[in-house]
Amino acid sequence: MAGSRFAWLMAITLSMAPLVGATSHAEDYPSRPVRIVVPFGAGGPADVAARLIGNVLQESMGQPFVVENRTGAGGVIGTQEVAKSPPDGYTLLMMSNTQTANESLVPAAQRKYELMRDLAPIAPVNYSDLVIVVHPSVQAKTLAEFIALAKSQPGKLNYASSGQGTPYHMAGELFKTMAGIDVVHVPYRNSGEARSGVIGGQVQMMIDAVPAMAPNIAEKQVRALATTGTWRSDVLPDVPTVIEAGVPGYEATIWLGLMAPAGTPKPVIDKLNAAVNAFVKKPEITKLWKEQGALPMSMTTEEFDKFLRGDIAKWAEVVKKFDKS
């Protein structure tokens, strides 16, 4: 009788051990510095957001959140590194819709990871509208006029982006598809070079982040034709949306989020999710982002998982319609 009771108590104790271990892990986390890997260059939206989040999380969690830029292969290099890292919560990925587009744009053998298999969603951060601009020499004052011009000269006009698979490139391909036009993609190494290309007149058009391009619009170095959100940008209130300008249903933004290696303990993921959601709801953060043309995003891990899968499917349909070479 005593032996069977001992065995019963041992069984209960062993069954509770994983739960106790996971809870303890979450309570102790983080106990050392955390890396946030940004697979894009310094100074871009992902880098700026990661550093801001890192500073706030360091204050709330008591450990440094150190940003590391690991660029290359359109965001693949940095994503690979995080996917292969230990699933302990000490290596995180600051990602964007570049990663969801890469799922169909970059062959799996080249990526060596699958986003929803090898990484775990934590939380989204924010999203920003983009703006379609043209060089002042382009004979189009409105988006409708630009579409008509492009249709009259198929394959003759071109547009710049910061590289294959970036949100700017994918927004351009989505616009081409929905507007029924043929303009040639000219990828640059980064947004700054692409911006210089359209300002200098080497390319006719570009889709860029509103905060980055707003000063050039104000200085009349480029002409704004439309913004890409579902309503007008607070930064460019006089510029119509693409939908208003005559392309029903068009929407393209750049959004940011955090992921961790698959297998990271759920309590750690949940703790990070709660911390990020608290961060994006801070009044000073929402005010800062609104001034820059960005809006916060807040989701549970399950909602973010569903959002990511939907975005992968959206861009897969776009990729099918253009030449990936």
The DSSP line for 132-192 is EEE-TTSS-SSHHHHHHHHHHSTTT-EEEESSTTSHHHHHHHHHHHHHT---EEEE-SSHH
Which residues does the chain have with pLDDT short of 70? 1-25, 322-325
pLDDT digits (tens, 9 = 90+) for 225-245: 999 999 999 899 999 999 999
* Residue 251: Cβ within 10 Å count: 16
pLDDT at res. 162: 85
pLDDT at res. 22: 46
Q: What is the pTM of this model?
A: 0.83
- Identify the CA nearest to 204 among candidates 250, 164, 246, 147: 147
CA distance 44 to 48: 6
